[in-house]
Amino acid sequence: MITTSHYLILSTIILTIGIVGVLTRRNVLIVLMSIELIFNAVNINLVAFSKQLQNTIGQVFVVFVITVAAAEAAVGLGIVIALFRNKEKINLDEIDLLKW
């Protein structure tokens, strides 16, 4: 029998993979993709609790999370394009303008 804790463990695994991707990859685009993985881990949690509590408001919040993810992807990719136009590089360890 699949319980809510199965979904929670799956979501924890995806969140951990996403955090490792954010912290280790060099390419900005792949870091943004890892952030999408983290969003999806949150969504799985929300749907799992909505299923357990028999309350669909959790799924309404998933709609809002997906909206915010779409806005974040649009703005993030706009920043990536502006960065590439100005600096000609998109690797995280080469973008050190604010580092001292």
Window 39-58: residues binding another protein (CB under 8 A)? 40, 43-44, 47-48, 50-52, 54, 56-57
Among residues 26, 42, 95, 100, the one that binds another protein under rule CB under 8 A: 26
What secondary structure does DSSP assign to 41-87, as a single string?
HHHHHHHHHHHHTT-THHHHHHHHHHHHHHHHHHHHHHHHHHHHHHH
Is the distance from CB of 92 to CB of 28 less than 8 angstroms?
yes
Please, what is the minimum distance in Å from the beta carbon of residue 65 to another protein? 10
Among residues 42, 59, 87, 97, the one that binds another protein under rule CB under 8 A: 59
Please tell me whether residue 95 binds another protein under the rule CB under 8 A.
no
